[in-house]
Structure 1
Amino acid sequence: MSAPIKYKCPYCDRESLSPGGVRFHIGSDHTDKVEEFKAEHYHAMKERYYK
């Protein structure tokens, strides 16, 4: 069995097993980066997650 894909926060070393986990982390720890994350990173993470 292959290792699960991990999604990394683009602003620190935090990892999650889903893009939603990264989004939640950014919403609580990097509140000034939420809109930037949604615009620049979240869509690509979701595409990879649902493949």
Structure 2
Amino acid sequence: MNDDDELSPLAAGAASLPPTLGEGCLLRFDPAELTEEMGADFSELPADAD
């Protein structure tokens, strides 16, 4: 490994965005893909009436 690899910000980070739905001003994270590990807690919401 050389110094360029060690100092690369892309090599150091492992964060990524969850999948999204919609586009433009309606762009939002897909709630079905969000987890408690990501900081999402939907336990108090009513169940969907599909």
The answer to whether the superposition gives a TM-score over 0.5 is no
Give the shorter-chain TM-score range: under 0.3
TM-score, normalised via structure 1 length? 0.21
Q: Which has the larger radius of gyration?
A: 2
TM-score, normalised via structure 2 length? 0.21
**Bigger RCO of structures 1 and 2 (CA < 8 A, at least 6 apart):** 1
Q: Structure 1 or 2: larger helix share?
A: 1
